[in-house]
Chains A and B, each alone.
Chain A
């Protein structure tokens, strides 16, 4: 990457990371990582354990501050000075590896909490669900296939259903950029297939970054692939390109 012309590259991107380094007690979780996503792109990020995939998500969503480097959203919004809530409200949604839904509340309430709305304390206290929001809820329930479970407590859903509910919550936030951490982990084949379909549909009108271990799933996404290794980008391109890359083979198969 040309270090002297980041401004133009950043301006055209939805997400722009340049030269980002994060160290934990001397361990470099991210090492001069540069990553670039254009609006509307679906990108799969793969890499062995400890490659820095989750740390990259943490940096983008404000959970971890980078030691050095630049992180820009939508061209010119500097993410390194914002907290999680501010970044979420800018339009960046994040799905965790382990499905994280509010187990003691209903599917409806989970989605209602995620729905784009004012997030202040007093606004919440007097908040009512508008007709437009109710309609949006119905729509979301259909998208994630949980319309029949709307009054079920989220804790009673199956693993796959929880994943979909969480994806539905991300959609309810109406983010421009979605970060999805291992959506297919622990799913049955049928669920994996349904999840890939759901994510491809979602990626039609927003940018999506998916971290995944499951190669079959990544192939099913039909997306550009970035391979991380020891905190930086090892290879980038189509699945075929990446799979035939000698360094990738070396890292994945061991020396």
Chain B
């Protein structure tokens, strides 16, 4: 049976993705081994690199989630950082409960900031977070639920384009203000930090860190496979139809708002998973993760990597963040200018991003190769 999506996906889309998944699986296996080698070995991968790239992989998963809705359904979310942060908070809450009596105040139930605020008992919405499975579930469900409620109203009211982008910004901004408040119960300005261990393993231990790295690599690989499955199905074909001609799709009998809602919720859940993996690796989650500028940065990663390619978005996140690490170290005051220049440069010279352009070049090369092959092949007779 012929595949759905045909040419659009048969080109580099799959090749790039296959390379990405292969690299991720290899990294998940090899990096822990290489990290275990003695520091004197030339093949040793330092703890610094492990935690750095572990963080990048979380960003890559976040970028992937944005590409699913922006690249395929045409929904430009400028508030996806909110779903990432919510996933992060869910994990952070569990890690806070894990601290137990090792906190400054030694309270077995209440996290330090609650003792400091003179709270006597745990707020109800912190119940259950002592369990890792519950917290992991919440890291997916909370972003999903918020995306469902938000998307239900926004898509049903047919808010599209720049208006939708603006209200997604407003969403993440409102959440930032709420989480900054001490009485909201999530640590206010300082957020959640001073984590000790996860599932009984110290967060400082190199083995824990490299395991988190491997988990992030696997999560990204699985996330990629899921997204590729979605966009290669007929559902993906409908999403692209919505992106390109929304009212036409409606008149074909598709409930556009249901399709958008589905993609938006899946995307928010992926962003939540990315956030939940990110927090134990950086050791802190605070309201600044909700900052509107963060969400805009995610969109730049996707634009640089190539909107609508999935693997390009992941690549873009790693490239831009590597650049950020480099510049904020070497020329700290220059970073924002570099980011701005990058965005303008990509828009002007690589409108399809690194991934989209690579796909185009390889497509051209393959076309040339087929042409050459045809020219070499024995010519059929003159009769047709």
Contacts of A114 in B (CB 8 A): 252
Given A106-B7, A125-B230, A129-B1, A88 and B258 contact (CB-CB distance below 8 Å): no
Q: Is A97 an interface residue (CB 8 A)?
A: no
User: Are the CB atoms of B255 and A94 closer together than 8 Å?
Assistant: no
Contacts of B8 in A (CB 8 A): 104-106, 109, 153
Mask: chain A, 172-206; 1 = CB below 8 Å from B; 0 = not: 01000000000000000000000000000000000
Contacts of B241 in A (CB 8 A): 102, 105, 113
User: Are the CB atoms of A106 and B6 closer together than 8 Å?
Assistant: yes
Contacts of B2 in A (CB 8 A): 108, 129, 134
Contacts of B176 in A (CB 8 A): none
The stretch of B13-21, B243-251, B289-297, B337-345 in contact with A is B243-251
Please measure, in the bound complex, the distance between the C-alpha atom of A120 and the C-alpha atom of B255, giving whole angstroms.
Answer: 8
User: Are the CB atoms of B251 and A112 closer together than 8 Å?
Assistant: no
User: Are the CB atoms of B254 and A119 closer together than 8 Å?
Assistant: yes
Interface of B is mostly: helix
User: Are the CB atoms of B253 and A88 closer together than 8 Å?
Assistant: yes
Please measure, in the bound complex, the distance between the C-alpha atom of A134 and the C-alpha atom of B2, giving whole angstroms.
Answer: 10
Pick the contact of B238: A84, A124, A129 (CB < 8 A): A124
Please measure, in the bound complex, the distance between the C-alpha atom of A102 and the C-alpha atom of B256, giving whole angstroms.
Answer: 15
Mask: chain A, 208-229; 1 = CB below 8 Å from B; 0 = not: 0000000000000000000000
User: Are the CB atoms of A109 and B244 closer together than 8 Å?
Assistant: no
Contacts of A127 in B (CB 8 A): 4, 233-235
Q: Is A61 an interface residue (CB 8 A)?
A: yes
Please measure, in the bound complex, the distance between the C-alpha atom of A109 and the C-alpha atom of B232, giving whole angstroms.
Answer: 12
Residues in A75-107 with C-beta less than 8 Å from chain B: 83-85, 88-89, 93-94, 96, 100-106
Q: Interface size for chain B: under 10, 10 to 19, 20 to 34, or 35 or more residues?
A: 20 to 34
Pick the contact of A84: B5, B235, B251 (CB < 8 A): B251
Nearest A residue (CB) for B253: A88
User: Are the CB atoms of A109 and B6 closer together than 8 Å?
Assistant: yes
Please measure, in the bound complex, the distance between the C-alpha atom of A20 and the C-alpha atom of B262, giving whole angstroms.
Answer: 37
Q: Is B327 an interface residue (CB 8 A)?
A: no
Nearest B residue (CB) for A175: B253
Given A112-B237, A129-B1, A129-B2, A121 and B262 contact (CB-CB distance below 8 Å): yes
Known: A85-B250, A124-B237, A169-B252. 7 other contacts (CB 8 A): A106-B6, A108-B6, A109-B6, A129-B1, A129-B2, A134-B2, A173-B252
Binding site for A on B (CB under 8 A): 1-2, 4-8, 230, 233-235, 237-238, 240-241, 244-245, 247-256, 258-259, 262
Binding site for B on A (CB under 8 A): 61, 63, 83-85, 88-89, 93-94, 96, 100-106, 108-109, 112-114, 119-121, 124-129, 134, 151, 153, 169, 173
